[in-house]
Amino acid sequence: MQFVPSAPPSSATARYVVVLIIDKGTPPRFLIANIAGRGYCTPSGRIEPNEPIEQAARREAYEETGAIVCDLQLLGYYRLQPCSTDEPDECVAPVFVTQLERLEPLPDGSESRGVRWATLNELPALYYQWSPLVEAVFRYASERSREARA
């Protein structure tokens, strides 16, 4: 897996979407979901057939955290090769950063057991598969968010 800080090529196949929900605090915090069988992570998931990518991002944010989000800003994309254990071809997962408009109760049928806010310093102890790559993406999102506020 690789993160590319630009828009995916038009020829790329987007199968998944990732949403980083960040607040305006100092230090900034990220909204993460406690997903059954996985643990804490950012909202993410499969794009449904014929579903627009931004709609998938909003849907995943809501389904996993109850978040109604503001404007989505494309941060970049994960390049996945293979796409998954079931799909040997390459695909991409666009990564969006956004802010919370409002938080609603978790919807019925949500995979999530709950949500919480976490700072970048708290994430390594909480996140289910923390890695240098994931840390770099969260740091990049934090920097881009700070630049947007300036």
Sequence spans of domains, the chain: 2-149
Between CA 124 and CA 135 the distance in angstroms is: 8
What one-letter code names the amino acid at 65?
T
Structure tokens at 80: 């996945």
The DSSP result for 23-70, as a single string, is -SSSS-EEEEEEETTTEEE-SEEEPPTT--HHHHHHHHHHHHH-EEE-
How far does the chain reach from its first CA to its final CA, in angstroms?
32
Could you report the per-residue pLDDT of 33-52, keeping only the tens digit for each? 999 999 999 999 999 999 99
Single-letter amino acid code for the residue at 93? A
| Sites in the chain below the pLDDT cut of 50 | none
Q: What is the pLDDT of residue 136?
A: 97
Instruction: State the pLDDT at residue 91.
Output: 94
CATH architecture of the region 2-149: Alpha-Beta Complex (3.90)
